[in-house]
Chain A
Amino acid sequence: MPSPVTAENRLNRRLGVDAFLLLMRVVMSAFVVLGLLMFIGQQINPDNFVASRINPDATGLTAAQFEGLVISGLSQGAMYGLIALGYSMVYGVLGFINFAHGEVFMVGAMTGMITSNKLDESGAWESNFLLSLLFVLVIAIICSTLTAIIMERVAYRPLRGSPRLIPLITSIGVSFFIQNVSVVLLGPGAKSYPTLPDWLSKKRELFGFVTIEGTRLMVLVVAAISMVALWYLVERTKIGKAMRAVAEDKEIASLMGINVNRTIVTTFAVGGAMAGIAGILWGLLFRSVVHTTGFLPGIKAFSAAVVGGIGNMGGAMAGGITLGSAESVAPLILLEPWGIDGVSQLKDAVAFLVLIFVLLVKPTGLFGERLSTEDRA
């Protein structure tokens, strides 16, 4: 209960919470470091004296297993990164978290599913795969971009300048709405993508020492291309300059003759397009979509944006890669040595723990905030 506050007892109380937070930081760091040490121990000798106590059935990981984990983490992370760009850009420009951005991603994956299945029916998917893939990609980008633009126009523009929580709650509503539109129109079940041609999905050697599934390689390549294109758009074009200016200060930007509304719409559109690309990649990689497909990746992509430093585009991609790899590798190298069973079930929990850990230890993210100077402590 807040009782009369004197400088002295105020200081004491603050110390209470701060001490707790410090303790949490220390415990979490210790958990990570010890887990890592024990993992290294296991790798050297699976029957060492620590492992035989804590994790008796330790076997250690083979190099191939480890490589597989890292590659799947990287490709997953690349998709998180693509989604995270949308969060990061919107946050930079409007200063709020567009909770429904994960749903834009889902719309991309869904349209991709519909278009590719239609193409598969007509035979074009098999006979002319690359062209139909391009077609699917274009349609998905158009649909998710439109979703993002309509979302901004209908739900967020009228709320600009209202108290901070209001647009956030609205975006939760938008997310809920889009998910359930998908349920009532397309049905609640999981829907699958058509099979990919063999030459794409088969495993292949790269640089002589990495074995990678073709699909995952494609994900990485497409993500890299999109990232470069986005970098060019933001850093080298007039539109990008306008976006950066609006992120810096809306009023002054409009005084400089920038159409703020149009720039904000562009930001949503670009973010939506990136999410659409990620949606297609997700669909091709996992070959199945449901209406909830967008929810968890969306939240994780937000976490990725925070991990990389929100408002910072390189950071968003780096955060995505970090989070994806952490999610894939950490359960086995940090949790398994502690003797925890069924670690793969805790994959999602790890992603959230990374978010919490980063916010506790380095709240500005790995690369700091660049676009938004607003305080967030």
Chain B
Amino acid sequence: MSAAFIEEPSDEELPARRMLDQDWRKVFKYGLLLALVLVFVALTNMPVNLDRRMLIEPIFSMGYLSLFWLPAVFGLVVCREPVLAGMPSYAKGSREVLAGSLVGLIGGAGLSFLTLLLDNFNLREPLVNWSPQLLELLSFQRDTAFGIAIWLPIGLVLGTFGGLTHLLSATTRRVLSWAFVSVIAFAVFETVILDLSEGFAWLGAEWLVDELYFIRGGLTMHGAAVLAAAGSLSAAFGRDRAHRAKERFQALEGTSRTRANTIGLLALAAALVILPLFLGGITNELLANVGLFVLLALGLNIVVGLAGILDLGYVAFFAIGGYTAGILTTANRGESWPDWMPQFYWGTALVVVVILAALAGLFIGAPVIRMRGDYLAIVTLGFGEIIRLLFLSDWLGGYTGAAQGVTNIPGVQVFGLATVKGTDPRAVFYLVLFFCAIAVYVSWRLERSRLGRAWMAIREDESVAEAMGINTVNAKLMAFVVGAVLASFSGAILAAKVGSVFPNSFIILVSIVILVVVIVGGMGNIAGVIVGSVVLIGILGGPRQPGLLQEFSEYKLLIYGVLLIWMMLKRPEGLVPNVRRTRELHQDEYLQDAWLRGEIDTDSEPEDDSHSNGNTGVLPA
């Protein structure tokens, strides 16, 4: 994080270090860490559970992938060091390869040791995954001695491979990684692609898919080869074209740029509207779930990303939306409601939902508005839990159905044309898409409005913002209200989609998952939030919704936790960063860079930012 002023590696010949001139402590540290991580992954039973999912039939399953990628990555990372200006730098050579192999070897030894222990002790009592199946997998279905022996060379080879990547030229590295990524991506997205191929059967897509995929799942060998070739070719030849296109786009100015943007957006919108028609139930269901979370995440993005208020009780608004819509539209509501209360149409109920959510936003927002960020987080979390407990309690059970929740919620009638309900995921997706479009538009307009700028000022420094004449109390309350309304939309759609709402659909976990989505995607960036939802909810799955990798359902929360820590430590601005937010988060580095370049006094920073910290990947505005 503190690396300032990193230079691009120059072309001139650098001296390589001698092979045995190692940082031994670092090598052993990484080796032990790798061994620990490998043993941990093995004990989570990930290899055994994921072994069912074949990537390339019959040689490679996701179970082994979950172990194999680690030594390679550690072998690569152990010798990665920032090139600092003014410090001597060295060419990569045999030293790096040796370090990689050693790290891999130590890691492999860890798994060998685990195999040995698995064979001789029974720790099933506390460790539930201490099983014969794991032993069988670790010893490749042969005897234990083979398993103990084989992990050493496997670790060595993978670690060496990781170390060798240092020696490859940038182009080769790109080609290889593209080949790898395209194979993995096609294997992971199998469900979606099969689904699509049915929609496009008239194009002969089914023949292609039959060639590509094995009947019971996984790519065929020749399919994988073709994909790898296609991936590497596109990396080798497509890059320049993509670069030129990007440059052309960036060169556009004024109206032509706006036009290009509009055309791009329209194309995207058209694709989103047309594509579901060719997709089957599973994929549409997946898209609908992703959409629900996009809606939630866009709302939280306003609260956390723009106004910088860490609201951990965000799920309360989701719950209020779901319950209000459910209670108003169902015929089967709790006995405490008066008999004269009619059964509302979903659209009418939505008005009530919006009003109630806004009031709840004010009610929860007002007491916490003056608190410091961390207090606010805990108190909102408390509110989130209180609301759930109230819905769950017998006290209000006559209204909310207590633990049984609200059931028999009808779908949404759209102009008498169609009924949107859970059995028709495509219709649900369109409904969600409509609300997402509203949410994106609202977020986009708000971000550039006076209110949006006030939020950003508050996020950066509340006292300064107040001194500049911003009414911080009102601005923060507005953030709560807007976020609450967006979340309540999502809740109302959920009620109509699932047909029932239960208190347990609204646990604090949901808040945290949405927070992870916003942070991984990129706080304060609409595109980032959408990318985050698609990647996390689409692939791994939501708190209760399965994703593309259904085998991962046991591990997704663990992965969310790791991702949250990792992103905060390494890339707090998210996958798709917001320029302004990035500069706030890396303020020290920017100042340091500018100072090193002797530009601390100038008003503007130069266009060319190739010298600044490469891993933030952001240009100064």
Contacting pair A356 B379 (CB below 8 A):
yes
Q: When A184-B45, A342-B394, A352-B382 are in contact, do A159 and B568 touch as well, CB less than 8 Å? A: yes
B386 in the interface, Cβ–Cβ < 8 Å? yes
Q: Which of A2, A21, A186, A299 contacts B451 (CB 8 A)?
A: A2
Complex: how many Å from CA A177 to CA B389?
Answer: 25
Q: When A155-B565, A177-B558 are in contact, do A169 and B474 touch as well, CB less than 8 Å? A: no
Q: When A170-B565, A184-B44 are in contact, do A117 and B125 touch as well, CB less than 8 Å? A: yes
Contacting pair B512 A159 (CB below 8 A):
no
Q: Which of A118, A168, A183, A359 contacts B125 (CB 8 A)?
A: A118
B57 in the interface, Cβ–Cβ < 8 Å? no
Complex: how many Å from CA A221 to CA B385?
Answer: 32
Q: Which of A162, A173, A343, A375 contacts B585 (CB 8 A)?
A: A162
Contacting pair B389 A346 (CB below 8 A):
yes
Q: When A1-B478, A170-B565, A303-B382 are in contact, do A181 and B310 touch as well, CB less than 8 Å? A: no
Contacting pair A159 B569 (CB below 8 A):
yes
**Distance in Å from the Cβ of A145 to the closest Cβ of chain B?**
19
**Nearest 3 A-B pairs (CB), nearest first?**
A173-B564, A177-B561, A352-B382
A345 in the interface, Cβ–Cβ < 8 Å? yes
Closest A residue, CB atoms, query B393: A345
**A to B CB contacts below 8 Å, 12 in the list:** A1-B451, A121-B125, A165-B373, A166-B572, A170-B564, A170-B568, A170-B569, A172-B512, A173-B561, A184-B558, A346-B393, A346-B395
Closest B residue, CB atoms, query A95: B374
Residues of the B chain whose Cβ atoms lie less than 8 Å from the Cβ of A345: 389, 392-395
- Beta-carbon contacts under 8 Å, B330-388 to A: 366-367, 369-375, 377-379, 381-383, 385-386
A286 in the interface, Cβ–Cβ < 8 Å? no
- Beta-carbon contacts under 8 Å, B551-584 to A: 554-555, 557-558, 560-565, 568-569, 572, 584
Complex: how many Å from CA A313 to CA B127?
Answer: 37
A-B contacts besides A121-B125, A180-B561, 6 pairs, CB < 8 Å = A24-B366, A155-B565, A165-B308, A166-B572, A169-B568, A177-B561
**Distance in Å from the Cβ of B485 to the closest Cβ of chain A?**
15
**Distance in Å from the Cβ of A92 to the closest Cβ of chain B?**
13
Closest A residue, CB atoms, query B304: A165
**Distance in Å from the Cβ of A109 to the closest Cβ of chain B?**
13
**Distance in Å from the Cβ of B350 to the closest Cβ of chain A?**
23
Q: Which of A20, A168, A341 contacts B377 (CB 8 A)?
A: A168
Residues of the A chain whose Cβ atoms lie less than 8 Å from the Cβ of B558: 177, 180-181, 183-184
**Distance in Å from the Cβ of A203 to the closest Cβ of chain B?**
30
Contacting pair A169 B515 (CB below 8 A):
yes
Closest A residue, CB atoms, query B46: A184
A190 in the interface, Cβ–Cβ < 8 Å? no
Residues of A within 8 A of B (CB): 1-2, 5, 10, 13-14, 17, 20-21, 24, 96-97, 114, 117-118, 121, 155, 158-159, 162-170, 172-181, 183-187, 295, 299, 302-303, 306, 340-343, 345-346, 348-349, 352-353, 355-356, 359-360, 363, 375-377
Complex: how many Å from CA A169 to CA B574?
Answer: 13
Complex: how many Å from CA A163 to CA B588?
Answer: 11
Contacting pair B128 A187 (CB below 8 A):
yes
**Distance in Å from the Cβ of B441 to the closest Cβ of chain A?**
18
Closest A residue, CB atoms, query B130: A185
Residues of the B chain whose Cβ atoms lie less than 8 Å from the Cβ of A302: 378
0/1 interface trace, chain B 114-152, chain A, CB 8 Å (1 if under): 000000000001111100000000000000000000000
Contacting pair B377 A174 (CB below 8 A):
no
Contacting pair B561 A97 (CB below 8 A):
no
Contacting pair A184 B555 (CB below 8 A):
yes
Closest A residue, CB atoms, query B43: A185
Complex: how many Å from CA A163 to CA B450?
Answer: 24
**B interface, how many residues as a size bin?**
35 or more
**Distance in Å from the Cβ of B388 to the closest Cβ of chain A?**
9
B454 in the interface, Cβ–Cβ < 8 Å? yes
- Beta-carbon contacts under 8 Å, B304-336 to A: 308, 310, 312
Q: When A2-B474, A177-B561, A341-B394 are in contact, do A163 and B584 touch as well, CB less than 8 Å? A: yes
Contacting pair A173 B382 (CB below 8 A):
no
B224 in the interface, Cβ–Cβ < 8 Å? no
Contacting pair A155 B569 (CB below 8 A):
yes
Residues of the B chain whose Cβ atoms lie less than 8 Å from the Cβ of A376: 371-372, 375
Contacting pair A13 B372 (CB below 8 A):
no
Closest B residue, CB atoms, query A114: B126
**Distance in Å from the Cβ of A174 to the closest Cβ of chain B?**
6
**Distance in Å from the Cβ of B442 to the closest Cβ of chain A?**
14
Contacting pair A340 B395 (CB below 8 A):
yes
Closest B residue, CB atoms, query A187: B128
Closest B residue, CB atoms, query A338: B395
Complex: how many Å from CA A371 to CA B433?
Answer: 51
Interface segment among B261-269, B282-290, B421-429, B465-473: the answer is B465-473
Contacting pair B569 A17 (CB below 8 A):
no
Contacting pair A21 B125 (CB below 8 A):
no
**Distance in Å from the Cβ of B172 to the closest Cβ of chain A?**
33
Contacting pair A2 B310 (CB below 8 A):
no
Closest A residue, CB atoms, query B387: A349
Residues of the B chain whose Cβ atoms lie less than 8 Å from the Cβ of A14: 473
Complex: how many Å from CA A20 to CA B291?
Answer: 36
Contacting pair A20 B366 (CB below 8 A):
yes
Q: Which of A2, A20, A177 contacts B475 (CB 8 A)?
A: A2
Residues of the B chain whose Cβ atoms lie less than 8 Å from the Cβ of A356: 367, 379, 382-383
**Distance in Å from the Cβ of A53 to the closest Cβ of chain B?**
18
Q: Which of A1, A184, A303, A340 contacts B378 (CB 8 A)?
A: A303
Closest A residue, CB atoms, query B460: A163
**Distance in Å from the Cβ of A373 to the closest Cβ of chain B?**
13
Complex: how many Å from CA A13 to CA B383?
Answer: 24
Contacting pair A185 B127 (CB below 8 A):
yes
0/1 interface trace, chain B 22-48, chain A, CB 8 Å (1 if under): 000000000000000000000111100
Complex: how many Å from CA A173 to CA B559?
Answer: 10
Q: When A342-B393, A352-B382, A359-B375 are in contact, do A186 and B128 touch as well, CB less than 8 Å? A: yes
Contacting pair B572 A184 (CB below 8 A):
no
B168 in the interface, Cβ–Cβ < 8 Å? no
B1 in the interface, Cβ–Cβ < 8 Å? yes
Contacting pair A176 B43 (CB below 8 A):
no
Closest A residue, CB atoms, query B556: A180
Q: Which of B378, B450, B477 contacts A17 (CB 8 A)?
A: B477
Q: Which of A168, A172, A177, A341 contacts B373 (CB 8 A)?
A: A168
0/1 interface trace, chain B 384-415, chain A, CB 8 Å (1 if under): 01100110111101000000000000000000
Contacting pair A1 B450 (CB below 8 A):
yes
